[in-house]
């Protein structure tokens, strides 16, 4: 294992990040973090109403352990681009679709499982007699098997793959008659995998692994759904981003799989705003979300079931880049402000890593390891971020990054306090942005953005 590169500002981090990394395309209707060229880093950030009826959904889960990333070049000419990288909830296993070196268009794609909970990470290829299609999806289970979804004509085929000595074993699970389907992050229980078939008027949620009789439909949700964040450790409460029939705004809802897919509101920031849930943590109740309630898409955070407002930190609004959270530190019981959050930062030079805490309100930026799949990673309880990577020199590696301590603005800028207008110095004075912390309990419950 190797340590991550030295912390620096956005320019330095971008310069040392993998230059060939390919940013993930944003989903339609869910653009990346806006550039915000007119923002001043000293502004307090905007605050809006609380998380609605989120408390009825139960506490939030560590969906950060199921982070996925897009294709990214490893930086070596003879190495293929790794495919979508999916982690189990506990970070013990990961899986992806990859390929042997070869000319573009002639590569034989196959599943690969990574074992990450031992002394050293290692990868096990799981090829079969016939190469896989590059758009196949895989998801690891807690017992080391790997679920694979293949599209065959207008059907979705599901199997479990596992190593058998020199070969690969396959257990056929069944098929679903659906032209389009996508796997959700593996369930926190480690046994089940669900898939979402999204239609115009309703979405079908299927349990495709972990059931008794193969793939089975477990819920039918009115509206067009996307996303997928687990809200508890038992794998019962699932958050989806839903647009109700007849259009209207996108709102995150909670689906109770223990009650035949009963749907309850989760995020209700403003009546006409698009509110999407990105990550959630069960121990602290921390929610990471994206909403256009401030007038344009912004990253925000709140606490599940809290009456305090959702906040949109100004330090997460960087010019000319997209910022996306992918992992939350677990184990911070009832302390959402103390959770370290890992963020993927995509810009013209490539992708690199950010670390931020709600209490510190300071964004730390780091170069990513060469061959990192952007958006793949998980936290340990003691605040160590693990970033899986693969390149020509290291076919399977994990870079370690200790969560940095937040520093008071006075020790960074050499000043004793903010300006006369009550705000911290602007971006011309310091980088990255450092905002003056405000205790969560002192935040106003309602109202537009105001300086702290």
> 170 in a domain, yes or no?
yes
> 448 in a domain, yes or no?
no
- pLDDT band of residue 54 (cuts 50, 70, 90) is very low
Mean pLDDT of 272-301: 94
> 274 in a domain, yes or no?
yes
> 447 in a domain, yes or no?
no
pLDDT at residue 83 in the model: 55
> 450 in a domain, yes or no?
no
Secondary structure of 239-284 as H, E, C letters: EEEEECCCCCCEEEEEEEHHHCCEEEECCCCCCCCCEEEEEECCCC
pLDDT at residue 360 in the model: 87
Q: Is the pTM of this model over 0.85?
A: no
Site of tokens 């990577």: 389
pLDDT tens profile 182-198: 999 999 999 999 999 98
CATH code of the domain covering residue 433: 2.130.10.10
Token pair, residue 337, equals: 């402000």
pLDDT tens profile 393-446: 999 999 999 999 988 755 444 443 333 333 233 233 333 332 233 333 333 333
pLDDT tens profile 229-259: 999 989 999 999 999 887 889 999 999 999 9
Q: Are 115 and 144 in contact (CB under 8 A)?
A: yes
pLDDT at residue 361 in the model: 79
pLDDT at residue 48 in the model: 61
**What span, in angstroms and rounded, lies between the C-alpha atoms of 86 and 137?**
9
Mean pLDDT of 313-318: 93
Residue with more model confidence, 284 or 307: 284
Chain mean pLDDT for the chain: 77
Give me the residues paired with residue 343 across strands.
325, 354
> 192 in a domain, yes or no?
yes
pLDDT at residue 81 in the model: 47
> 167 in a domain, yes or no?
yes
- pLDDT band of residue 358 (cuts 50, 70, 90) is very high
Q: What percent of the chain has pLDDT over 90?
A: 57
Cβ neighbours, 10 Å, residue 381? 10
Total domains in the chain come to 1
Mean pLDDT of 204-224: 93
- pLDDT band of residue 278 (cuts 50, 70, 90) is very high
pLDDT at residue 38 in the model: 31
Mean pLDDT of 68-95: 62
pLDDT at residue 306 in the model: 83
Mean pLDDT of 146-156: 95
Q: Torsion angle, CA of 74/378/308/421, rounded to 10 degrees?
A: -50
CA 260 to chain centre: 27
Domain limits for position 298: 2-442
Token pair, residue 252, equals: 């995150």
- pLDDT band of residue 332 (cuts 50, 70, 90) is confident
> 257 in a domain, yes or no?
yes
pLDDT tens profile 374-394: 999 999 999 999 999 999 899
- pLDDT band of residue 26 (cuts 50, 70, 90) is very low
Q: Are 124 and 98 in contact (CB under 8 A)?
A: no
């Amino acid at each position: 294992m190797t340590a991550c590169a030295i912390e620096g500002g956005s320019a330095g981090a971008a310069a040392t990040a993998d230059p060939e990394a390919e940013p993930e395309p944003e989903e339609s209707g869910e653009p990346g973090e806006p550039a915000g060229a007119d923002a001043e880093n000293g502004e307090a950030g905007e605050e809006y109403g609380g998380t609605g009826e989120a408390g009825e959904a139960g506490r939030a889960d560590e969906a950060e352990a199921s982070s996925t990333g897009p294709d990214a070049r490893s930086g070596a000419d003879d190495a293929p681009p790794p495919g979508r990288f999916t982690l189990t909830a506990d970070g013990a296993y990961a899986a992806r679709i990859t390929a042997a070196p070869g000319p573009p268009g002639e590569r034989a794609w196959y599943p690969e499982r990574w074992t990450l909970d031992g002394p050293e990470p290692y990868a096990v290829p799981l090829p079969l007699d016939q190469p896989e299609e590059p758009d196949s999806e895989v998801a690891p289970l807690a017992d080391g098997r790997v679920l694979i979804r293949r599209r065959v004509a207008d059907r979705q085929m599901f199997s479990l793959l596992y190593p058998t000595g020199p070969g690969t074993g396959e257990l056929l699970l069944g098929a679903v008659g659906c032209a389009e389907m996508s796997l959700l992050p593996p369930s926190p229980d480690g046994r089940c995998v669900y898939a979402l078939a999204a239609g115009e008027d309703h979405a079908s949620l299927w349990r495709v692994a972990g059931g008794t009789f193969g793939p089975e439909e477990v819920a039918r949700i009115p509206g067009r759904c996307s996303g997928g964040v687990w809200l508890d450790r038992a794998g019962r409460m699932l958050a989806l981003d839903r647009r109700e029939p007849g259009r209207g705004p996108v709102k995150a809802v909670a689906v109770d799989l223990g009650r035949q897919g009963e749907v309850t509101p989760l995020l209700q920031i403003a009546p006409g705003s698009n509110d999407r849930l990105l990550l959630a943590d069960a121990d602290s109740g921390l929610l990471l979300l994206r909403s256009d309630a401030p007038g344009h898409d912004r990253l925000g955070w709140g606490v599940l079931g809290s009456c305090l407002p959702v906040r949109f930190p100004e330090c997460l609004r960087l010019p000319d880049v997209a910022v996306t959270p992918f992992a939350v530190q677990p184990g911070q019981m009832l302390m959402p402000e103390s959770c370290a959050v890992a963020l993927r930062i995509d810009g013209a030079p490539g992708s690199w890593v950010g670390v931020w805490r709600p209490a510190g309100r300071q964004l730390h930026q780091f170069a990513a390891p060469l061959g990192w799949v952007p958006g793949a990673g998980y936290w340990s309880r003691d605040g160590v971020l693990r970033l899986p990577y693969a390149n020509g020199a290291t076919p399977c590696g994990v870079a370690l990054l200790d969560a940095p301590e937040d520093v008071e603005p006075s020790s960074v800028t050499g000043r004793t306090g903010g300006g006369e207008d009550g705000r911290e110095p602007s971006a011309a004075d310091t980088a990255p942005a450092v905002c003056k912390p405000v205790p969560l309990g002192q935040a106003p419950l309602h109202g537009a953005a105001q300086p702290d």
